[in-house]
Amino acid sequence: MTFITEQFNQKNSKKGLSLIELMVAITLMSIVMTAILSSYMALTRSAMAIGNYSEMSEKSRYALELFSRDVRMTSDISSFDATSFTVTSLYGDADERTISYSYDALTDLLTRTEDGTAVTILDNAIDCEFKYYNILDVETTNSLEIQKVKFTARLLKRVLYLANTYDVISAEFMIRNRKVTN
């Protein structure tokens, strides 16, 4: 009889896991899966941040290129303040174009308007400012003295409502086609 009971216990003990062993295995698997998921999410967030930075860099270079071309070719300044700038630029011998740059803080957009057609050239601009300087490199508010324009913008890109990429662009441009007084 003892022999039959021992044989029965050996067969039952090899068939499955006890509740404690099962709980330990589930806990360990949960820890491993959490670590894998966290790593995956961190890598995904990093890849998105790199993509955001690349996109912002491309857009800011494009905006600076347009702005520099327009400022360098300026023949007349119609209006200007810290967030907008309207000029007449010369392209070719007699091709005059009215070009405006304006920043809207509510929408975080920098818009370029040429002869009535508006195009957004920077989005996600949390701050944008124009400063104006005379020929002596002193900041001025007199439109007849403006010889240089400084453009500065701070860009922010969000992923899943989290700010994850910042970029600051700043450049100064000389007005070439304009006679000024000091």
* Predicted local confidence at residue 132, as pLDDT: 93
Tallying the residues shown for the chain, one arrives at: 182
What pLDDT, in 10s, does the model give residues 85-127? 998 888 766 678 899 999 999 999 999 999 889 999 988 888 8
Residues of the chain with pLDDT under 50: none
The residue ranges of DSSP E strands in 4-147, in sequence order, are 74-80, 84-91, 95-104, 109-114, 117-122, 125-133
List, in sequence order, every residue forming a beta bridge with 97; answer none if it has no partner. Answer: 89
Instruction: Measure Cα distances from 53 to 45, 95, 111, 161 in Å.
Output: 12, 36, 20, 16
What pLDDT, in 10s, does the model give residues 84-94? 999 888 876 66
